[in-house]
Structure 1
Amino acid sequence: MLVYRKEIDGLRAIAVLPVILYHAGYVNIVPGGYVGVDIFFVISGYLITSLIDMEIRQGTFSLIRFYERRCRRILPALYVISLVTCYFAYQRMSPGQLEDFGYSLISIITFSSNVFFWWKDDRYFSQLNELNPVVHTWSLAVEEQFYLVFPLLCLLFFLAQWGGNIQMISKRTFYMFFQHSWASFYMPIGRIWELLLGSFVAFYSRANDSIVSGKSIGMRAQVASVIGLSLILISIMTLDSRSIPPFPNCYTMVPTFGASLIIIYGKHDTLIGRLLSLEPVRWIGLISYSAYLWHQPLLVCLRLGPISLMTISHMKSVIVIILLLSAITYYSIEQPFRNRTLFSRRVIFGCSAAGAVVLYFVAVFLIHTANYRTAFIEKVTDNRSVIIDSIMRNGSLTLKEVDTYLADIEPMELSNYVTRRFDTHLKAYPTFSKQSANTKRRLLLIGDSFAQDFMNMIAETNSLQKYEIRCYYIRFQCQIYMGDEDRLQWIASFHRSLCINDHKIQSAIPMIREADVIILAGFWLRWSAIRLPRTIELLNLTKSQKLLVLGLKNFGVIDLKKYMNMSYEFRIQQFQQPEENATEVNTIMKQSFSPSVYIDTMGMVCVFKNNTCPIFTPHGKLITYDGWHTMKHGARYVGDIIFSHYPLNQL
């Protein structure tokens, strides 16, 4: 018989709380909070394997009963919370967001949300996923896929052992195939080993009979369980996704092995076992599934609201609300549906099928709604002349009818617009062409995302037509620097490996020698800005070559939600001060370079009262989505200004 262990529920609490805190924005406190999902995988593998193994040995295993238990455990709460999320998605999401949400619902009911998010390449650790209320269901899909396959594998393994040893010999060498790192994150092939680690723990525990029989193994159990909890806490506190390779990787073994040690050795009579068995800890573990389901939709609901509530004080209240809702869901939905006297097998399968059908039709409705909203916006946008005529005839037109603001702030567009043109140009034209030496002047643009931003300004304003433009990318973490000092001393330790042999301006010197004009654009840091004159001096440019330095631009803190439901009149009156660090760095650079070299973007754009910067163009279009980089309309607006002023107007 499978022994119930209170400490496993406590381990669930240790897994779910860091995940909630991480997604709530406490990244500086729990930078590795996301590893809670990996701990869940180990727990799940252990429990499922233990149950299947016990029933196979007792001769009572039933595949249909196994799937019935999974339906009872997973689907009722998942379907209810998904339907609640649909209401807020319909009310608050932009067309693109709503369409993606609709497709993600379909992926949930087909147990393939991990495949969907991998295909969309939303990138779990990016800020964009803060606006996806169901991205966290990828881990459920991995488990569901494991559940569908693993019982069959167990049966096949049993039959293979019963039938004798069967060897399959292949003359071909097998090589692990390459897959994108984000596929490893989302797909079972990158996660299956974590579930299997839990399976091995189950087999090891049975073979050693240390848990089922309750035998004490003394000091070894105490030490091993303490080490296990320490490994988990170290992972939560140190495995910052910004400084390590994408998960899963070798670091993933730290929390998963920690969880394994606790499962094997953290019995009820150990210190760790007693701590994890405390009623408050165990209670959080009991509601952990509902808490995992609730946390992301609630957080996204706040982020999509018209007013930002994502402060630390608000987050504390939100976490309490998550736990309360989770408790309600656990007692009113999870527990009743697990009761076979209340819901028979036929009923639970019928309810599961009905829930899937309802979610499917809701998803189709949301997708249709999103397409209608998008079509309406496009129709209005494509009929600008009709709108102008209407205004001329009637004197006015409802601003809401012509507002394309929602279409301008689609999340994926915000993410891709800045980089797309620069990166495409870089790949297509890695060097100057031989013909251009006689037909066109050559311009080399060097830098990071600010160079990418500048490339968009060139394109949106149709500037620099007489130049053959080439690009060279240097990550902002590495900075544009050349000198006697080692730049690694100013670079964060977790970025140094990127900057040792790559992302340095020395590698661009062959192209610099061929260029007539060199433009340096970057997210300048104080240390590199101070040393930039020396860097330029060491480039040894000829007198015929012209060099320009693009200063920092910043429009202050941007709150997309704040502007979403505001009128055109409200938007064009929004001005604010740039951030102090941008102003400080620009002051250093302005003092270092003459006006013929330095492009003072902020000095040209932020010319309103008290040197404030506009947030919207005169046409009510958002200039920047993060305060630093421009959107399409912003690139055109800023580009028109700087290309009409000295020194760019001389090119």
Structure 2
Amino acid sequence: MLLYREEIDGLRALAIVPVILYHAGFTTFCAGGYVGVDIFFVISGYLITSLIETENNHGTFSLVCFYERRCRRILPALFTILFVSSIFAYYWMLPEQLKEFGQSLISVISISSNIFFWFKDDGYFSQLTELNPLVHTWSLAVEEQFYLIFPLLYYCFSNKRNFLITLLVCFTVLSFFLAQWGGNLQSIPHGRFQIFSQHTYASFYLPAGRVWELLIGAFAAFYLRDNDSVEKPIYKHRQFLPFLGLILIIVAVVYLDHRYIPPFPNFYTLIPICGAALIILFGDKNTLIGRLLSARFLRWTGLISYSAYLWHQPLLAFVRLRSQESPTFSTILIVISAIPLLSAISYFLIEQPFRNKQRFSQRIIFCAAGVVTIFTLMLAIFLIRTADNRSMIMNNAGDSYLPDLGKYGNWKYVVRAFDDRANSKNTFSNATIKSKKRIVLIGDSFAQDFYNMVIEGKHLLKYEICVFYVSARCQIYIGPEDRLSLIEARHRPTCTNKYDIKYALPLVRQANIIILAGYWQEWSAQRLPSTLKLLNLTEQQQMFVIGPKNFGKVNPALYVNKSIEYRLKQYQNSPTEVVKINQLLEKTIDKSIFVNIQKMVCKGRNETCSLFTRDGKLISHDGLHLTKNGARHIGNIIFKNKPLNRL
């Protein structure tokens, strides 16, 4: 039987608490709370390997029994959360959201949710994490995929232990290399590396960039078996090493802000991984750190950590889905306070009973797992069909709110026309040389919004327009400073040799009118005069700069089946950040070329923004980007006012 170590449950507590706080939004003092998942990977690798090693030594190791224990451990609480989440999803989600939820259910029961969310992640990772109740199951999928493969490898090579360890070392090195490739190494500006480049989100979600973390835990188990370190006398280094491990974990949780480091996982992931490994290897109950982690409160938190992990994301996601604005501090505190209670109930009433072999035999466990899996599949299909039916009903009900939202109120609509233009025509034709009616539009998704304003309102019909995309992560900048040094570290791989306005200069030279539109950051806004100067425009060329816009947090689900009168009463104040950037742009560049959309659309002292047009059409689906009706509405406003009315 595997020796129970109380301090491991304490280590689980150190993993789960930062994860919950991070997802709840307490990032000021818990900027790297997401590393708790990496600590869990190390713990899982250690415990699974220790269990297999112990059973193998006693000649009792069985693949069937191993998978039985995993079913008892993982499935009961997981299925409970899936069913509870499905109830709230059925009543609270929009059709498109409900359909995606049903698809995510299928991915969970097929042990592929990490693959599903990798495909679904469009780059707005924070929004995905906040609003999807099941996005956290990606890490369970990684562990389950590890559980499927690792025991088989062990079973096949248990009599060739040295070969097995050598093989695992190779897998670890390769996995760490792939993780690093998705992080730091992707930014190496050499074309020859790009042929092997691994996508950042692939490194994050898929086992290729994560299995090394689980195998570090496995190597800790191998080491402890061969050296029996837990039972050895206490020397000074035995006290120091687990203390160092605790410091490494604290440093990672407090300082590994994803905004300032390359995409995770990467070299920095070694900090929490090594911290967890040092505690596992040397932090037994005879050490100070071991006794600290064995404290009753930490052990209790560790015991319910699996249920706490399962509960926290659905609770936070559904609260955010039902909130018109970001949930208040008190609301988030109530949710966090509910997590331990729900987790304790799950632990005693769901987790513990199903681990009792006297109550539930192996046959019952496997049969129940199969039946409930089929039921979950049927439930997922039902939710997807329900979402489709609701869309059809809304289409026939006379209220175009949901149909419009489904077709023209999402990021796909925002990018479609702009991307089609960029792909079909990236040079000017000879027909507009003499007429001097050439426009080049440069920028990010706000430039895509601007292009939609032109299309929907049929503005600038006499002009030939070319477009060039510069990601908001990279910003529009020309100047003496190193551009990458000004960009957030996590975005540098994306911006290396890409999304740079310098590649648009040939179009700028041919254009008569240059329009820059973007979600300007403070650093790029401050340097915009320098950027404009270095474009070296002629006196005949005209320049326009489109300021950022932000209508606050918008939750489209709150306005389903609401009257036009109700919708017309929905207003929000402009966020202070966008007002600040617009004021900065007004100070730094000529007012004759600056278009302050926020001030034109949002009126009054506080720049209060209406969320709907006069005929009750939603302007923005997320507070930042425009729907089709919003593009037409705002386009009509800005093209009737200075300075764009000159065009």
> Is TM more than 0.5 here?
yes
Aligned pair count?
622
Is the CA contact (8 Å cut-off) linking 1:303 and 1:561 kept in structure 2? no
1:550 aligns to what?
546
- In the alignment, the residues of structure 2 paired with residue 164 and residue 515 of structure 1 have an alpha-carbon distance, to the nearest angstrom, of 63
Q: Does 1:10 align with 2:29?
A: no
One-letter amino acid of the counterpart of residue 201, structure 1: A
1:277 aligns to what?
294
Q: Does 1:364 align with 2:403?
A: no
Is the CA contact (8 Å cut-off) linking 2:325 and 2:554 kept in structure 1? no
**1:402 alignment partner, one of 395, 398, 401:** 398
CA-to-aligned-CA distance 1:28-74 (integer Å, 9 cap, x gap): 33221111111111111111111111111211111111111111111
Between 4-13 and 415-424, report the one with greater CA deviation.
415-424
CA drift of 1:528 comes to 5.2
One-letter amino acid of the counterpart of residue 342, structure 2: L
1:398 aligns to what?
none
Is the CA contact (8 Å cut-off) linking 1:94 and 1:410 kept in structure 2? no
**1:567–1:145: structure 2 CA closer, same or farther, 3 Å change rule?**
same
2:449 aligns to what?
453
CA-to-aligned-CA distance 1:536-564 (integer Å, 9 cap, x gap): 34433223222222234343554545545
**1:459–1:244: structure 2 CA closer, same or farther, 3 Å change rule?**
farther
CA drift of 1:263 comes to 0.4
1:452-491 counterparts in 2 under 5 A?
Answer: 452-476=448-472, 479-482=475-478
**1:373–1:126: structure 2 CA closer, same or farther, 3 Å change rule?**
same
Is the CA contact (8 Å cut-off) linking 1:302 and 1:308 kept in structure 2? no
Is the CA contact (8 Å cut-off) linking 1:15 and 1:40 kept in structure 2? yes
- In the alignment, the residues of structure 1 paired with residue 46 and residue 486 of structure 2 have an alpha-carbon distance, to the nearest angstrom, of 45
1:158 aligns to what?
158
- In the alignment, the residues of structure 2 paired with residue 300 and residue 412 of structure 1 have an alpha-carbon distance, to the nearest angstrom, of 24
Between 340-349 and 180-189, report the one with greater CA deviation.
180-189
- In the alignment, the residues of structure 2 paired with residue 528 and residue 99 of structure 1 have an alpha-carbon distance, to the nearest angstrom, of 39
- In the alignment, the residues of structure 2 paired with residue 165 and residue 595 of structure 1 have an alpha-carbon distance, to the nearest angstrom, of 67
- In the alignment, the residues of structure 2 paired with residue 337 and residue 509 of structure 1 have an alpha-carbon distance, to the nearest angstrom, of 66
Is the CA contact (8 Å cut-off) linking 1:308 and 1:561 kept in structure 2? no
One-letter amino acid of the counterpart of residue 67, structure 1: Y
Q: Does 1:40 align with 2:40?
A: yes
Q: Does 1:418 align with 2:414?
A: yes
Is the CA contact (8 Å cut-off) linking 1:425 and 1:471 kept in structure 2? yes
Q: Does 1:143 align with 2:113?
A: no
1:189-588 counterparts in 2 under 5 A?
Answer: 189-211=208-230, 214-305=231-322, 310-378=327-395, 380=396, 401-409=397-405, 414-433=410-429, 436-437=432-433, 441-476=437-472, 479-482=475-478, 505-525=501-521, 529=525, 532-533=528-529, 535-560=531-556, 562-564=558-560, 566-587=562-583
Between 37-46 and 406-415, report the one with greater CA deviation.
406-415
**1:165–1:139: structure 2 CA closer, same or farther, 3 Å change rule?**
closer
CA-to-aligned-CA distance 1:151-201 (integer Å, 9 cap, x gap): 11001112446999999xxxxxx9975542222222222221111111111
**1:512–1:326: structure 2 CA closer, same or farther, 3 Å change rule?**
same
CA drift of 1:627 comes to 3.5
- In the alignment, the residues of structure 2 paired with residue 28 and residue 195 of structure 1 have an alpha-carbon distance, to the nearest angstrom, of 29
- In the alignment, the residues of structure 1 paired with residue 407 and residue 348 of structure 2 have an alpha-carbon distance, to the nearest angstrom, of 37
- Three-state SS of the structure 2 residue aligned to 1:243 is coil
TM-score (norm 1): 0.87
- In the alignment, the residues of structure 2 paired with residue 104 and residue 528 of structure 1 have an alpha-carbon distance, to the nearest angstrom, of 38
- In the alignment, the residues of structure 2 paired with residue 350 and residue 74 of structure 1 have an alpha-carbon distance, to the nearest angstrom, of 15
CA-to-aligned-CA distance 1:305-350 (integer Å, 9 cap, x gap): 2565722222222112111000011011111110111111111112
CA drift of 1:424 comes to 4.6
Between 450-459 and 362-371, report the one with greater CA deviation.
450-459
**2:206 alignment partner, one of 180, 187, 194:** 187
- In the alignment, the residues of structure 1 paired with residue 276 and residue 552 of structure 2 have an alpha-carbon distance, to the nearest angstrom, of 44
CA-to-aligned-CA distance 1:89-141 (integer Å, 9 cap, x gap): 10101111111111221222222222222232366832133221111111112
- Three-state SS of the structure 2 residue aligned to 1:135 is coil
- In the alignment, the residues of structure 2 paired with residue 10 and residue 527 of structure 1 have an alpha-carbon distance, to the nearest angstrom, of 43
- In the alignment, the residues of structure 1 paired with residue 32 and residue 163 of structure 2 have an alpha-carbon distance, to the nearest angstrom, of 46
**1:153–1:602: structure 2 CA closer, same or farther, 3 Å change rule?**
closer
- In the alignment, the residues of structure 1 paired with residue 298 and residue 627 of structure 2 have an alpha-carbon distance, to the nearest angstrom, of 47
- Three-state SS of the structure 1 residue aligned to 2:410 is helix
Is the CA contact (8 Å cut-off) linking 1:556 and 1:576 kept in structure 2? yes
**1:422–1:236: structure 2 CA closer, same or farther, 3 Å change rule?**
farther
2:192 aligns to what?
none
Is the CA contact (8 Å cut-off) linking 1:479 and 1:528 kept in structure 2? yes
Is the CA contact (8 Å cut-off) linking 2:440 and 2:465 kept in structure 1? yes
1:90-169 counterparts in 2 under 5 A?
Answer: 90-121=90-121, 125-160=125-160
Percent of residue pairs identical: 53
- In the alignment, the residues of structure 2 paired with residue 110 and residue 92 of structure 1 have an alpha-carbon distance, to the nearest angstrom, of 25
- Three-state SS of the structure 1 residue aligned to 2:359 is coil
**1:313–1:335: structure 2 CA closer, same or farther, 3 Å change rule?**
same
- In the alignment, the residues of structure 2 paired with residue 11 and residue 336 of structure 1 have an alpha-carbon distance, to the nearest angstrom, of 24
Show structure 2 runs of 5+ residues with no match.
Answer: 168-173, 179-195
- Three-state SS of the structure 1 residue aligned to 2:136 is helix
**1:584–1:142: structure 2 CA closer, same or farther, 3 Å change rule?**
closer
2:191 aligns to what?
none
**1:424–1:198: structure 2 CA closer, same or farther, 3 Å change rule?**
farther
Between 307-316 and 89-98, report the one with greater CA deviation.
307-316
- In the alignment, the residues of structure 1 paired with residue 451 and residue 501 of structure 2 have an alpha-carbon distance, to the nearest angstrom, of 18
Is the CA contact (8 Å cut-off) linking 2:326 and 2:553 kept in structure 1? no
CA drift of 1:452 comes to 2.3
One-letter amino acid of the counterpart of residue 83, structure 1: F
Show structure 1 runs of 5+ residues with no match.
Answer: 168-173, 381-400
**1:412–1:317: structure 2 CA closer, same or farther, 3 Å change rule?**
farther
Between 326-335 and 128-137, report the one with greater CA deviation.
128-137
CA-to-aligned-CA distance 1:439-473 (integer Å, 9 cap, x gap): 77321112333222212212222322332222234
- Three-state SS of the structure 1 residue aligned to 2:232 is coil
Q: Does 1:69 align with 2:65?
A: no
CA-to-aligned-CA distance 1:201-222 (integer Å, 9 cap, x gap): 11011111112xx222411111
Is the CA contact (8 Å cut-off) linking 1:481 and 1:505 kept in structure 2? yes
- RMSD value over aligned CA atoms? 3.3
One-letter amino acid of the counterpart of residue 97, structure 1: Q
**1:481–1:45: structure 2 CA closer, same or farther, 3 Å change rule?**
closer
1:384 aligns to what?
none
- In the alignment, the residues of structure 1 paired with residue 164 and residue 455 of structure 2 have an alpha-carbon distance, to the nearest angstrom, of 69
CA-to-aligned-CA distance 1:359-382 (integer Å, 9 cap, x gap): 12211111110110122233x3xx
Is the CA contact (8 Å cut-off) linking 1:122 and 1:129 kept in structure 2? no
CA drift of 1:513 comes to 1.6
Is the CA contact (8 Å cut-off) linking 1:97 and 1:411 kept in structure 2? no
Is the CA contact (8 Å cut-off) linking 1:440 and 1:466 kept in structure 2? no
CA drift of 1:529 comes to 4.7
- In the alignment, the residues of structure 1 paired with residue 398 and residue 241 of structure 2 have an alpha-carbon distance, to the nearest angstrom, of 65
Is the CA contact (8 Å cut-off) linking 1:35 and 1:255 kept in structure 2? yes
1:387 aligns to what?
none
CA drift of 1:631 comes to 2.2
2:620 aligns to what?
624
1:56 aligns to what?
56
**1:620–1:336: structure 2 CA closer, same or farther, 3 Å change rule?**
same
One-letter amino acid of the counterpart of residue 247, structure 2: S
CA-to-aligned-CA distance 1:455-494 (integer Å, 9 cap, x gap): 2212222322332222234454665455678888976676
TM-score (norm 2): 0.87
- In the alignment, the residues of structure 1 paired with residue 122 and residue 504 of structure 2 have an alpha-carbon distance, to the nearest angstrom, of 32
One-letter amino acid of the counterpart of residue 199, structure 1: A
1:597-616 counterparts in 2 under 5 A?
Answer: 597-607=593-603, 612-616=608-612
